[in-house]
A and B are shown apart, each in its own frame.
Chain A
Amino acid sequence: MSDHTYRLTGETGDWEVVMGLEVHAQVVSKAKLFSGSATAFGGAPNTQVSLVDAAMPGMLPVINEEVVSQAVRTGLGMGSKINLYSRFDRKNYFYPDLPQGYQISQFEFPIVGEGELECEREDGSRFNVGIERLHLEQDAGKSIHDLDPNSTYVDLNRSGVALMEIVSKPYIRSPEEASAYVTKLRTLLRYLGTCGGDMEKGQLRADVNVSVCRPGDYEKFRDGGDDFSHLGTRCEIKNVNSLRFIRQASEYEARRQIEILEEGGKIDQETRLFDSVTGVTRSMRSKEEAHDYRYFPDPDLLPLELTEDFVDQIRSELPELPDAKRRRFVEDFGLSEYDAGVLVSDQSRAAYYEAVAAGRDPKLAANWVNNELFGRLNKESLGIGETPISADQLGKLVALISDKTISGKIAKDVFEILWTDGGDPARIVEDRGMKQVTDTGAIETVIDQLIADNPDQAAQVKEKPKTMGWFVGQVMKAMQGKANPQAVNEILRKKFEL
């Protein structure tokens, strides 16, 4: 048992949780998986539907090569095995938002095999999640049940949109880890440009599998080469669409299962839905009601055969990925793991930081980006794309601090001016006389005057050196904060012979 083992205490003792996630990620691509229709979000219902998407008689699918590249890119990003041979199968079931009466998916031969993702808990500790596979499949359309009391409407805009289903191994051990895994996956997908990751728009959704077991069982499961006989019966919570809901749903589900087991019941393997309003999961269909999908190879499509060259070309074009970038920030810039982690969690934030830090003090730059800039952006609910202060401006400001033209305190004033009025930091400092005074003569004059005006305070400093701070404050006040704090301290100490 490590420090991070998540345990729930029941009437009969402790329980542990075992989770595996199936994440459906909408592939970034102008066109759908097997048709030329657009994939933009928010189009008027049924405006992005081709004859193929509507499954008109005689229509045939043709694979979109860009989507294949995206899947390979994602697989490479996860360090997964790329399968040069993969195949599309039909998953047969009836539903009005599934026009073909089957979903084209990859059942037996997925395009991407095993891989691994390093994730981070909130306390900064890391854990690995094994990836079982990634396969390509079509999304279904959308059924709209609340427009009419007697009818269901169907919007086929989403029908046929390419999804990557990324299946984790059941190595996730807590609701927090589940959320951390999805967060990491989303970051990676965004770096790769293969999925927008916007959960509100349905670009990323998770089916969450949860089971509970007694302490020690999970270790037996792993030691036995993933011997599932040591684990409890799982339930699958379908289509959970936010990180918060993933945590809530899995925690609720674990507690529900524990309660049943402790009352002597048994868990039925079933598919459940999470109700985000009430916070509970409820049964959608039991194992007995589960569809027999009658998978078979889609005879309308040839097997997907990739060449090594095709894969190598994509590999050569991969961007620097978050883990590598974090290591570089720590090693090359001397940042803390934490600061580096915060910066690389978002590709545009990392890029912004790198522009600020270029040729400047990287630690100081990290502080200003993480604390000042992002503090302010968060307060105003703005994204990095909406920042009124460019990386160039912030970089120049950091440079002015480093070369002692201004103090950190003055820099905050300049930051405010940049935020509201914009402009060039050096010019603002020059025009507004905000330059730091390092001229010891000028500082000394002010200090002499202050000591002369405040003999009692000066006497106290001799007895209690800590009270010297009062003089520092007075000097700064007299000089409108422009005095170099180091110089002020030095001269004061000399005067007071400390």
Chain B
Amino acid sequence: MSDLLKLSLSEVTTKLKAREVSSVELATEALSAAKAAQPALNAFTAFDVDKTLAMAAASDAKLAAGEGGALEGAPLAIKDLFAVEGVSTTASSNILKGFEPTYESTVTKSLWNAGGVFLAKTSMDEFAMGSSNETANTGPVVNPWKGTTDGNLTPGGSSGGSASALAADLCFGSTGTDTGGSIRQPASFTGTVGVKGTYGRTSRWGVVAFASSLDHPGPFGKTVKDSAMLLQAMSGHDPKDSTSLPNAVPDFVAAVGKSVKGLRIGVPKEYRLDEMPEEIAKVWDQGVQWLKAAGCEIVDISLPHTKYALPAYYIVAPAEASSNLARYDGMRFGVRQDGEDLTSVYENTRAAGFGEEVQRRIMIGTYVLSAGYYDAYYLRAQKVRTRILQDFDNAYQKCDAILTPSAPSSAFGIGTKSDDPIEMYLNDVFTVTANLAGVPAMSVPAGLDSSGLPLGLQIITKALDEETMFSVGAAIEDAAGFNAKPEKWW
């Protein structure tokens, strides 16, 4: 692998514009590196070499003509939840095996319009349900980071393939979706930057739905600036998504590097969990010191309903999922299993098509929406959600951004948590609140733990204020000077 693939998105697009490197050259290298890494990392679910090379050639033509968008010519990896026209789109599920959409998701279309080049589809937890990328129908994705640990680690999830691919320098940016932390937790586990904007900033049209009111498409970048460039391209009003924000998209890239002097940074006491590993507490404290040194004012804040967030999330998300996944009935697309009558066709198809975790969540969701249980579960969870939103509103009276750890641990070993769903669900403890409230949040790498594994810090800001998030994120990035890369073993 040449050093070209190690460049950041902002660096490589500069080189592309300067015609120091061609998109076809980059794409060819990325494809070969990705394919070479596939047996070890298992990050990808589909390639379409012809499409990649055609898009790269088209980018080169534009660049030669002095045209092209902000991402022109840069190969990007796409989570398998996004519909890419003519390319296998399966949500890493057997039930969608062989499904090739005739349409392109709004977000990927926007990326292509900005000049992005399709590299590959990436693996994920089936239907984005998981925090380790172990539930994909194509098997676990492996984290390129090993640190000093033995055995393979998970890249986190659900967007584990996108995180792994980027951390291993197999692409220049990638997409994820964040429903409860599915971008930020893998970003934290892989030393990458992961962002979700305000709910509705990026369109959900053409993205296989998990939990509609919580799903946030967003990017992974190697740097804060890269992630800002990508979110910029992905954002915008989409009339095809009724929950898409009509607001104009600010200049996210301009916010990167902007002084954070005078910003008030909230540190929520409820996030300081009793069982939190010391190293997590340490990196959090370190982050606070960095921001203080950068001229920020540190404010103690309270988000009193935080402890109810995870239970509420694990009611609302499965409830919506149980309904969203009803369309996978074997009737119109995907895989059908025959049966002796209609009911058995449904049962056989869904039993064979959905993995264990997806089935578990469909059952939880069906249960909490059932007559007699709706008020006690779904309705109460929605009330919690309102309280969480109020918590944030109150907190933002006192601060401009909130700093927390991204995840309660560094990357864990494959198979170490997959037998205990509750422990797996706890991975989302710091991230779900931002999904329930719909506010922007990102994870920025802050350092390595004693095992040599990356740890991320999370920055949460007010709805529509991604700019402050990017400014604070860049300040952390600067202070941390994080430039570690996983040692190549794959």
State the A residues within 8 Å of B (CB): 51, 54-63, 90, 92, 94, 96, 99-102, 154, 292, 294-296, 299-302
Contact = CB atoms under 8 A, between A and B. Distances in A.
Which 6 A-B residue pairs are closest in the complex by CB-CB distance? A101-B326, A299-B212, A294-B369, A299-B213, A58-B206, A55-B327
A445 to B, nearest CB: 85
B320 A299 contact: yes
B146 to A, nearest CB: 35
Contacts of B206: 58-59
B99 A96 contact: no
Interface in B298-333: 319-320, 322-323, 325-327, 329, 331-333
A296 B323 contact: yes
Nearest to B205: A60
Interface centre among B96, B213, B331, by most chain A C-beta atoms within 10 angstroms, is B331
A154 B332 CA distance: 10
Contacts of A55: 327, 332
Q: How large is the interface on B (under 10, 10 to 19, 20 to 34, 35 or more residues)?
A: 35 or more
Contact of A62 (B91, B239, B323, B374): B239
Contacts of B342: 96
B319 A99 contact: no
Contacts of A295: 369, 374
Interface in B327-374: 327, 329, 331-333, 342, 346, 366, 369-371, 374
A55 B333 CA distance: 10
A302 B242 contact: yes
Given A292-B370, A302-B242, A57 B208 contact: yes
B411 interface: no
Interface string B224-250: 000000000000000111110000000
A292 B374 CA distance: 11
A58 B327 CA distance: 11
28 contacts: A51-B102, A55-B332, A57-B83, A57-B209, A58-B83, A58-B103, A58-B105, A59-B206, A60-B205, A60-B241, A60-B242, A62-B239, A63-B242, A92-B369, A96-B342, A100-B326, A100-B327, A101-B326, A102-B323, A154-B331, A292-B370, A294-B370, A296-B319, A296-B320, A296-B369, A296-B378, A300-B243, A302-B242
A294 B323 contact: yes
B242 A101 contact: no
A60 B323 contact: no
B222 interface: no
- A interface: dominant SS: loop
A57 B327 contact: yes
A62 B240 contact: yes
Given A58-B205, A59-B205, A96 B329 contact: yes
B204 interface: yes
Given A57-B333, A60-B204, A60-B241, 10 more contacts: A56-B332, A58-B204, A99-B327, A294-B366, A295-B369, A296-B320, A296-B369, A299-B320, A301-B243, A302-B242
A496 to B, nearest CB: 87
Contacts of B89: 57
A92 B103 contact: no
Contacts of A294: 322-323, 366, 369-371, 374
A200 to B, nearest CB: 29
